[in-house]
């Protein structure tokens, strides 16, 4: 069974409490429940974390090395600012899918730049919280032996 690390960056603990027009009405606990449901469905194990502290995020990414099969990360605002998270993701040597609830490309120009996309296998933006499910599903798909037709 494969293990995925689902990481959430700063302010995502506020989901559902403010800006529902941008991020929807679901709380982070709802997102976790959604991820666990999808993980069960696809026989994947997940670890779900959120932090407002960049060093903590970097430690979790380092600890993923050689231990998990993939990282699903919503880096929040660190997406647009953090070379340190970019470097940590390279050091982890684990495939990464970057998820954004909102479509960052139709928002302010400072959200168009992502240091994480440079090291991500794939990026999902604008699918709402369904993006997390799609990312987990994709990792499960990669892990499933497929027969050629």
- For the chain, give the longest Cα–Cα distance: 49
CA neighbor of 35 nearest in space, from 90, 73, 84: 73
| Residue (17 or 67) nearer to ligand CA2, CB | 17
Q: 28 to each of 2, 54, 123, how far by Cα in Å?
A: 23, 18, 20
Report if residue 138 touches ligand CA2, rule: CB under 6 A.
Answer: no
Q: Identify whether 100 is a catalytic site residue.
A: yes
Q: Of the ranges 13-21, 30-38, 39-47, 62-70, which one interacts with ligand CA2 (CB under 6 A)?
A: 13-21
- What are the percentages of helix, strand and coil residues in the chain, rounded to 5? 45, 15, 35
Q: x/- site string to ligand CA2, residues 76 to 115, per CB under 6 A?
A: xx-x--------------------xxx-x------x----
* Interface ranges with ligand CA2 (CB under 6 A): 11-12, 14-15, 17-19, 23, 74, 76-77, 79, 100-102, 104, 111
Catalytic site positions: 23, 100
């Amino acid at each position: 069974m494969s293990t995925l690390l689902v990481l959430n960056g700063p302010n995502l603990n506020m989901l559902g409490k403010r800006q529902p027009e941008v991020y929807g009405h679901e709380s982070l606990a709802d997102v976790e429940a959604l991820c666990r449901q999808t993980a069960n469905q696809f026989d994947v194990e997940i670890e779900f974390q959120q932090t407002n502290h960049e060093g903590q995020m970097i430690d979790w990414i380092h600890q993923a090395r050689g231990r998990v099969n993939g990282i699903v990360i919503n880096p929040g605002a660190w997406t647009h600012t953090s070379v340190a998270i970019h470097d940590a993701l390279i050091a982890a040597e684990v495939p990464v899918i970057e998820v954004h609830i909102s479509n960052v490309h139709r928002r302010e120009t400072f959200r168009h730049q992502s240091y994480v996309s440079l090291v991500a296998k794939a990026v999902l933006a604008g699918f709402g919280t369904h993006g997390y499910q799609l990312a987990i599903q994709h990792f499960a798909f990669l892990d499933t032996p497929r027969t050629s037709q």
